[in-house]
Amino acid sequence: MAEESKNMNSMTVNDESDESFMKLALAEARKALDKDEVPVGCVIVLDSSVIGRAFNQRETLRDPTAHAEMIAITQAAEAMEAWRLEGTTMYVTLEPCVMCAGAIVLARIRRVVYGAADPKAGAFGSVFDIPGSGKLNHKPEARGGVLAEECGLLLKDFFSRMRK
């Protein structure tokens, strides 16, 4: 019984910290929105400290790889002075695509927490399941749906505005 209570308390703390860090990712997504970029934001955390933060910059940089996750991974690698980002957690407002999922696996990110699912390009279970394929040497833990409504609404509003 004490063990169950201990697990329940740690889940609550984890849920609270997941939401707290997702709010930081949402702040990054809003920066993208201000620059007419698809509003996706990402933060990478190690031991409760943010070591990478970014937003989509494909239009600004004219670079198809300038997704929030890719930029944040580069920053985190610089901060850790290593390409292996073991022990880190990535918070991203949209389920990572195939490119980003591959980079997450290669960087050995321990855990990925995302907001909105991506039914068109998601690679953490929506369209593909890159980390769950069982064929790769690293499988990050994943949790989706954290502040999903807020993350999804930001994207819906952006695309609605772009269509007008």
Whether 69 sits among the annotated catalytic residues: the reply is yes
Instruction: Note whether 107 and 80 are within 8 A (CB).
Output: no
- DSSP category for residue 46: E
**Alpha carbon separation from 15 to 9, 19, 104 (Å, rounded):** 10, 6, 22
- DSSP strand pairing (111-116 vs 89-94): parallel
**Where do the DSSP E strands lie in 24-94?**
41-46, 49-55, 89-94
- C-alpha 15: how far from its chain's center? 15
Catalytic residue among 4, 16, 37, 69: 69
Kind plus residue range of the DSSP H or E element containing 157: helix 148-163
Q: Which ranges of 35-147 would DSSP assign to H, the alpha helix?
A: 58-61, 68-80, 98-106
Instruction: Note whether 88 and 112 are within 8 A (CB).
Output: no
State the catalytic residues.
Answer: 69
